[in-house]
Amino acid sequence: MFKPTVGPIIGHTTTNHARIFLRGDSSKDTHAFAGIRYRRLGDEHWSNGVFAELEKARDMSAVLVLNDLAADTVHEYQAGWFSATQPVGPAEAMRELPLKWPGKIHSLRTRSNQTGKPRAYVVGSCRYLRLTAGIAAEPHLGDRMFATIATLAEQAEPPVSAMLMTGDQIYVDDLNFIAPDRELKDILLKYRVAFSQPNIAKLMSALPTYMILDDHEIEDNWPANKNKSDDFLYANALNAYEVYQASHGPAHELCHDGQVDRKLDKYWYLFTDGDIEWFVTDSRTRRNLAASDRRILDIEQEQALCAWLINSSARVKFVVTSVMFYPDSKRQGDDAWQGFPEQRLRLLETIRSHGIRNVFFISGDVHGSLTSRLTHSADPDFEIHTIVSSPLCNSRLLPYAKASTFILDQPLARTAAGDYRHELTSEVISQDNFAHLIVDSGQVQVRYHDREGNLLQSINIKLREGLR
């Protein structure tokens, strides 16, 4: 067997199963197959192999599901691919093949089933990796941060449960002014190069990674800048996104055989980690820009988000939105929630009227990191927070955000019942960074680190007691 050409990438992981993406290769008149086997750390014997045929329609990739895993346990696994001149047959037949597995042994940890146990996460966005003719320019700049994150994940206590990549994992449009990428083959190549850099590859082979797209996976400020000729670009960009980002996430259901159902009707999704829940929104592809009913989330998604906020018993609720929920930018633009004030107010009023506590909005996009608190002038029980982490690697052509970037001297929204007022609870970090979130019984600690691992800032946000 050969080692994967991209991956393995650990995706959605629970107490008893894990989804793993890998890519092989193809040659004329052959069939290619991916395989994974696994065992608990310390065990001698490997499981039977889990196999899937690789298809050109999915860029010779597959997502394999490991089932019946033990909770809160480190498992080792080997992953690779092989080719054959004839179809091999069912999985049982493949297990009889004299396969020589790649020597590299990876490891993953399943989720704990203990509620109340401290959890940790890494959050980041906006990883710029300029590609010219399929070759990364100065790739060490776009990959260095992931070596630091991997080191932190290996040493952190409590263990890091997952990494949340909240948008702009690649820049399809990085050369728009010279030679814009529009063909599927060119966009797929960007993903292959971006996800096979050595440090990010090592990190994603060991740490579950959850992803959601933002505009640069398609085009800057999509869909505001869309024109009629962009339908071709859009279809190809989403095809590539589904292969490399959505494929290993919770948006896909599982089939009766325990493997991933390839049908996909939405990009937003939820996942649970003990008594912590995440709702990862698609705030990019379901927008309605009509003046009569502007929406950053479609009706179905807004209703699902509100129902989750109201009915979830999670102690901490994280809402991921690739663009900032607040504060608003001084630059007159409508790409973020600032441009959809009615829908934002509906969400705020839902949280306030139902007395929902410990809601955190997680985002990136602005090339600056910060934490902020939102309160209500007439309702002392209302409080939400935003945690922004951006960028993992900035382009030299783009500025970093600063405190002066944002509107901080006036209410976010005014209503007959009172004003929504916000304040920064951190400095604004204007350099490459990532966020390390630690959730324990009484607080969420937000620790921002630079690419060398140095602590830039630490913020403690107290959790509020109550049934909701």
Query: DSSP letters of 136-197?
Result: ESSHHHHHHHHHHHHHHHHH-SSPEEEEEE-S-SS-TTTTTTTS---SHHHHHHHHHHHHTS
What SS3 class is residue 346? helix
Lookup: tokens for 333: 């633009």
Tell the residue number behind the tokens 């935003």, with chain if given.
386
pLDDT, position 151? 97
Give 108: exposed, middle or buried? Use CB within 10 Å, 0-12, 13-18, 19+. buried
Distance CA 360, CA 443 (A): 12
What pLDDT sits at residue 133?
63
Split at pLDDT 50, 70, 90, the class of 361 is very high
* Residue 36 in this model has a pLDDT that exceeds 80: yes
Residue 175: the pLDDT is 64
Query: For 148-175, what is each residue's pLDDT tens digit?
Result: 999 999 999 999 999 999 999 999 987 6
Q: State how far the Cα of 92 lies from the Cα of 445, in Å rounded to an integer.
A: 48
Extended strands (E) in 173-287:
209-211, 269-273, 276-280
Non-local (6+) Cβ contacts of 110 within 8 A are: 13, 14, 15, 16, 18, 69, 70, 71, 72, 73, 75
Measured CA to CA, the distance from residue 465 to residue 197 in angstroms comes to: 43
Please state the length of the chain. 468
Q: pLDDT at position 439, please? A: 98
Give pLDDT, residue 89: 61
Higher pLDDT, 93 or 80: 80
> Going by CATH, does the domain composed of 6-109 fall within 2.60.120.650?
no
What is the identity of the amino acid at 330? K
Q: What are phi and psi of 213, to 5 degrees?
A: -85, 160
Please state, in angstroms and rounded to a whole number, the distance separating the CA atoms of residues 403 and 429: 9
Looking at residues 407-436, what average pLDDT do you find? Answer: 97
Residue 178: pLDDT over 80: no
Burial class (CB in 10 A: 0-12, 13-18, 19+), 12: buried
Strand partners, 446: 437, 459
H or E segment at 256? none
Q: How confident is the model at residue 270 (pLDDT cuts 50, 70, 90)?
A: very high
pLDDT at residue 88 in the model? 65
Token pair listed for 394: 């900035």
Selected residue with higher pLDDT from 18 and 177: 18
Percent of the chain topping pLDDT 70: 95
- Yes or no: say if 80 and 49 are a contact pair by the CB < 8 Å rule: no
Burial string for 181-202 (b: 16+ CB within 10 Å, else e) reads bbebebbbbbbbbbbebebbbb
Class of the CATH-defined domain 119-462 = alpha beta
Band of the pLDDT at 398, cuts 50, 70, 90? confident
- DSSP state letter for 13: E
The pLDDT of 114-128, averaged and rounded, is 95
Query: Confidence class of residue 92 from pLDDT cuts 50, 70 and 90?
Result: low
Segments of the chain assigned to CATH 3.60.21.70: 119-462
Q: Residue 350 and residue 344: Cα distance in Å, rounded?
A: 10
Predicted model pTM:
0.95
Dist. CA 403–CA 424, nearest whole Å: 9
Gap between the Cα atoms of 88 and 226, Å rounded: 45
Lowest-confidence range among 8-17, 122-131, 271-280, 312-321? 122-131
Q: What confidence category does residue 98 fall into, taking pLDDT thresholds of 50, 70 and 90?
A: confident
Question: Measured over all CA atoms, what is the biggest interatomic distance in the chain, rounded to whole angstroms?
Answer: 73
pLDDT for 94: 67
| Torsional sign, CA 239, 212, 132, 182 | positive
Q: What is residue 338's three-state secondary structure?
A: helix
386 has pLDDT over 60: yes
Residues β-bridged to residue 280: 269, 320
Alpha carbon of residue 58 to chain centroid? 20
Is residue 467 predicted with pLDDT exceeding 70?
no
Q: Nearest-CA neighbor of 246 among 4, 3, 9, 75?
A: 9
Residues of the chain with CATH 2.60.40.10: 6-109
